[in-house]
Structures are given as C-alpha cells and as structure tokens.
Structure 1
Amino acid sequence: MKRNCSLDEISDGKFYELNDMVKVGCDDCNGCSACCQGMGNSLVLDPLDIHRLSIKLECKFEELLTDKIELNLVDGVILPNLRMTGEEERCVFLNEEGRCSIHASRPGFCRIFPLGRYYDDERFRYILQVHECAKPNKTKVKLSKWIDTPDLKKNQEFVNVWHYFLKEVQLMMKSTEDEALRKKITMYILQLFYLTPFEKEKDFYEQFAERLENARKNI
C-alpha cells in the first residue's frame, strides 16, 4: 500500500539490492508479534499471495473470504487484504503462541517486513523502514535470504509488473465517471486474477503473464 511520506521520515535513506546485508535479523521474532497486529486493511494481497494461501489451506478464494481475507476498495480497484480480528486486531493467521501459522506461505509484504519497496522509473528498490520493527539489537542478514522466496528474480519481475498494471488501471478508473464501466473493470480484474484459480501443477508466473496479456487486450 502506498504511503504518503518522504523516505527520510521512514527509512535510513539507503536503497538495497538482493546481495546486500541489511539490519533486519530479529532473533526469529522471539516473544514478539507486534507486526502481525493492528494493521487494519493495509496488507493488500496480490494474486501470488492468494495462490499460495489457496494451496496451503486447500481452499478456493470464496472460502478464504469467509474468515481469512476481506475485500476493500484500493484507489478505485477492489482488492483482497488479510483480515484482522478481535480488540487487538490480530492477524487471523496468528496462533495462540503468537506465531504465524502459515509462515511458509505468508504473503509478500510479510516476507519483506520491515523492508519496504520504493517504486520509481518503472522499477522498485528495497528500503529499510526504521520505525516499523520493535525488536532491538537487530543483526545483518543477506536481503535475498531474508525475503525467502523461490525464483526470486521472477518474483521481483511479477511484483513490479503487477504494481504498475494496477497503477494503469487506477488511472483509468479516475479518468472516467462511468460507474458501470468502473464496476465492470474492477470485477473483471477480481475474476481474472483472484476468483479464477491458478493451476498449482503449472508455473504461476507463466500463467500470470498469460492472464495479464488478456487483461491488457480486454480492458
């Protein structure tokens, strides 16, 4: 989710690449789950996040909507986000011991935290958000190891393409006052990228590329 603030306010002022060592090590979050609470609807999920959750939980998107995720309008586009529950607004996947019950299949935003992405010139770079993680005395970890994502180069390309595709759609939504058209577009995206399952036996990124090509032709 976009943050309306300067880099100086939230980061150490540096940009990081995959081979860089970054001060993010937090002793496996021992005794702390602060970043899994009080996030509201800010943890927006991309198609890969939903694909991973569907495989992990062996359920469809509609089933996730019953109690795991919810839909919200993000700059004119309906997108899913992780659900927070209870007075403390705990992530629905946080167990009684304060641990993530889907850690191996956790969303992309959770994988990079407390890192963030800075988008500019049709690409993104990683930044370290210095006020987000409450754990003291953090240690340096290689960025690629911290993100812990298979096919990381493909993943980065997907994240970047998805971000800028959504930006195009959001600009399109702002450029028209036709409510019927807006609804048609956002429901098409929801159906194509979220409601219609990706086949788990096939490469996700190849399937995504095919769907994106279709979306660009039909929107």
Structure 2
Amino acid sequence: MNSKINLYEITDGNFYGINDLVKADTGGCVDCSSCCYGVGELVILTPYDVYEMSSYLELSFDELLIDKIKLQHENKITLPHLNVISDSDRCSFLSESGRCQIHAHRPSICRLFPLGRVYEDDDFKFFLQTNSCVKENLTSIKVENWIGISNYNENKKFLLTWHKLLKALNFRVKFIRDEQELKAINTDLLDTFFKISHASSAQKHDDFYSEFYAILPEAKKRLGIL
C-alpha cells in the first residue's frame, strides 16, 4: 500500500478484526462486475494466490504468464499481477457474461474488496474502502464470513511472513544498482515462491504452507535478507 495515502480519507475511519461486523456485503454482486475492470495495476499476487490459481486451472506459473497474469515492477522487485484484456480492460479471468471464472480461488485482494488490509506491528487490520463499490446499500457481515477463506489463521501467518519478507527485500534492493544482480534476485524470488507445486486438491492448502516454510530459510539466505 502506498504509504502516502491517508486511510482516513478513503475509509469510514474504523479498523476491523476478523470477528467484527462491517458493511461490505454486496449481496452476491448480482448483475455487477465493475470492480473487475482496470485491475492490472492494483491486484498484486502472493505465492498463495498463484498456487490457488495454478491448482484449480491445472496450469503452471509459466503457463499462467501467457495471458492470465503478468509481471510488473514494484519499486525494484518483480511481482505477478492480474492481467487485463487490452480491448476492454477487464480482468483476464472475467468471462464475457461478467462472472469470475476462478471465484472460489480468486486472489486475496479480490476476496477482500471492498475491504483492504493495513499492516502494523507484525499484525494487520481490515478497513472498509468507502465509495469504492458501486453497489448501493451494502449490508453488514462478519469479516471472516466475507473473506471466506479456509484455514484463516494459517493464511494470516503466511501473509504476515510474506509481507515481512518483501519489506526486508525492498530495503535490500534499494541499494543495488547493478541490473544483472537485480534480475538474478527477482528470478530467484519468482522461481522459489511462485512455482510451488500443487498436490491433490484435498490436501493442497496444508501442502502449500508446509512447502513455503520449508523453503523459506534457505531462500532468505540466497536473497540476502534476515
């Protein structure tokens, strides 16, 4: 998130926990897909997001890069984002009839909307983005139910770990001027964390987290971060 953004200017002024009620329920987004347009710069994908897409579609990371996702620079770090169809600016996963083709496996940022996340002191809270959803009269729903992700505590632990890793890596690459060194670091980051192989669907959630933490210590050493 852009640190220059004043959250109190784009939110209702409240921060929510997983068990709080928030006016975010869109009623199933009936006849609406407005938030699925112009997302190419906005939806940065985590390794878990890519893992979910890859598992569901039975496509490798490299195959997703053909037309479903794209690589973009966030400062000096290369990360995958959702791709958009150029003639309409709609998300590559949005069908012509206006429905998400990976809805049950959609990225974390999409899953949250119109909520967002703010990180602070090794934790995060949720906030409601006012005037972001075009649907009127959103109703109250428990944050946990709105997000609707299985194994939430394990997922939160992963998100905090990933956020901390990227924060440390951003600091590290800030001082690197050599383009080849930057390219090597970014290639290592992508190959290590975004190509985690998927197992059977019945076990995939636990398998992702186990493999992520198994490769994390050695990967951090190679990337030169603590």
**How does the TM-score come out when normalised to structure 2?**
0.92
- Matched residues in 2 for 1:71 and 1:147: separation? 26
Partner of 2:43: 43
1:22 paired residue number: 22
Match of 1:135 in 2: 135
Q: CA deviation at 1:86?
A: 3.4
Letter in 2 for 1:218: R
2:149 equivalent in structure 1: 149
3-state DSSP of counterpart to 1:28: coil
Decide whether aligned partners of structure 1 residues 49 and 195 sit closer, same or farther in structure 2, where only a CA change above 3 A counts: same
Letter of the 1:195 partner, please give it. K
Query: 1:3 Cα shift?
Result: 5.8
Tell me which residue corresponds to 2:190. Answer: 190
Where 1:195 maps in the other structure, the secondary structure is coil
**In the alignment, is the contact (CA less than 8 A) between 2:24 and 2:141 conserved in 1?**
yes
Counterpart of 1:94 in structure 2 is: 94
**TM, length-normalised to structure 1:** 0.94
1:175, distance to aligned residue in structure 2 (A)? 1.8
Asked if the contact 1:198–1:207 (Cα under 8 Å) also holds between the matched residues in 2, the reply is: no
How far has the Cα of 1:4 moved from its partner?
Answer: 3.0
Distance in 2 between the 1:179 and 1:62 partners? 23
Once the two structures are TM-superposed, the CA of residue 196 in structure 1 deviates from its matched residue by 4.5
Gaps of 5+ in 2: none
Cα contact 1:83–1:91 (8 A) shared by 2: yes
Distance 1:86 1:215 in 2: 35
SS at match of 1:27: coil
**8 Å CA contact 2:37, 2:90 repeated in 1:** yes
Alpha-carbon distance between aligned partners in 1 of 2:98 and 2:111, rounded to the nearest angstrom: 17
CA apart distance, 1:203: 1.9
Going from structure 1 to structure 2, the CA distance change for 1:211 and 1:131 (only over 3 Å counts) comes to: farther
For the Cα contact (< 8 Å) 2:196–2:211, is it kept in 1? Answer: no
Amino acid at match of 1:40: G
Map Cα deviations across residues 77-98 of structure 1 (whole Å, 9 max, x no partner). 1111111113331011111221
Root-mean-square deviation (CA), in Å?
1.5
CA–CA separation in structure 2 for the residues paired with 1:49 and 1:191: 15
Matches within 5 A, 1:49-68: 49-68=49-68
Tell me whether 97-106 or 3-12 shows the greater mean CA deviation: 3-12
**Alignment partner of 1:216 is 2:224:** no
Structure 1 spans left out of the alignment, 5+ residues: none
Task: Specify the code of the residue in structure 2 equivalent to 1:76.
Answer: K
Report 1:94-133 matches (<5 A).
94-133=94-133
